[in-house]
Amino acid sequence: MISDAFQKRRERQMLLLLLPALLPLLILVIYPALYSVYLSMTNEALTGVAAQRPRFVGAANYFRLFSDARFWNSLFVTFVFVVGSAIIGQFVLGFISAIALRGRKVGSQVFGAAILLPNAAPEVVAGFMWISMLAGGDHATLSKIMIALGLPWADWLQTFPLFMVTMVNTWRGIGTAMILLTAGLAAIPSEVYEAARMDGANARQTFMRITLPLMAPTIFLYMLISTVSTISVFGLVYALTRGGPGNATEVISVYIYNQSFTTFQLGYGAAGAVVALLISLLFGISYVRALRVQV
């Protein structure tokens, strides 16, 4: 009914409307991503001789990177951080909260808001608040609570740095996990539970045989998204520990930052960045495939 010429003009108009989005993404995202691959093969630096005349050094940065114990340490730290906070901490506590909130409970609004509040806190605020909880030896709030309960205290950020950073990131993400899993739980038809009760299933059986399998797609999607977003966490860790003590909490993003902006080795930092980009892309592609996005 609508003519071919009109259709063609329409598509041109659509492209025109997309152009303001396309340009910033090309210049400020795609081009830097490609440029980082090039940079990683030079000895580019912010200061010193290399800053004046950067040279092409081939794969030298990568050889150095792969023999750098600090780089492998940052990958390990990132792995513990992601698995501990996104996969285990946030998910388990979020799921427990979602199940506990199920049904019409008195005060569920209040509990929901309390659990979501950490999610609204900017990274630096979160880091700062948790310094009060954890830093300062026996002066830390957590230590005071432990002492009041007659339990041993520690210099938390010095003794268990990685565990503490992981816990703080868990704290930040329980709310989002809870919201998404609540939506997933609400999508399970109540008839299924009715039928299970008729058949005499107990609570554990119902959970293992009905809730968990029906929730599997939601859980999988949640885990992929929280994994990729946790890999790029920077401000929280940086504000809390700046990667220390030593390199105990130096996740990959803090490692890249330190290499690039405190030792000013841009080329070397870029090699680390390319590895981080590839890892994230790998997760991203599996996420897009899993989602089977209807675009």
**x/- site string to another protein, residues 113 to 142, per CB under 8 A?**
-xxxxxxxxxxxxx-xxxxxx-xx--xxx-
In the complex, the smallest distance separating the C-beta of residue 69 from another protein, rounded to whole angstroms, is 20
CB 267 within 8 A of CB 259: no
Out of 18, 49, 88, 216, point to the residue binding another protein (CB under 8 A).
18
**Calpha distance 270→61 (Å, rounded):** 9
Tokens of 37: 């691959």
Out of 73, 80, 144, 146, point to the residue binding another protein (CB under 8 A).
144
Please give the residues from 181 up to 220 whose contact with another protein meets the rule CB under 8 A.
183, 203
Query: Which CB sits closer to another protein, 248 or 253?
Result: 253
- Applying CB under 8 A, does 253 fall inside the site for another protein? yes
In the complex, the smallest distance separating the C-beta of residue 271 from another protein, rounded to whole angstroms, is 10
Query: Residue 42: beta bridge partners?
Result: 56
Q: Please report how many Cα atoms fall inside a 13 Å half-sphere around the Cα of residue 150, on the Cβ side.
A: 0
Please give the residues from 49 up to 88 whose contact with another protein meets the rule CB under 8 A.
none
Out of 81, 95, 156, 171, point to the residue binding another protein (CB under 8 A).
171
Query: Which CB sits closer to another protein, 161 or 272?
Result: 272
Query: Residue 56: beta bridge partners?
Result: 42
The window from 63-71, 157-165, 166-174, 205-213 that contacts another protein (CB under 8 A) reads 166-174
Which amino acid does the sequence have at 130? W
Out of 93, 164, 165, 215, point to the residue binding another protein (CB under 8 A).
93
- Applying CB under 8 A, does 41 fall inside the site for another protein? no
- Applying CB under 8 A, does 288 fall inside the site for another protein? yes
Q: Which of 225, 230, 219 is nearest to 288 (CA)?
A: 225
- Applying CB under 8 A, does 280 fall inside the site for another protein? yes
Out of 3, 5, 20, 69, point to the residue binding another protein (CB under 8 A).
20
Out of 75, 80, 83, 179, point to the residue binding another protein (CB under 8 A).
179
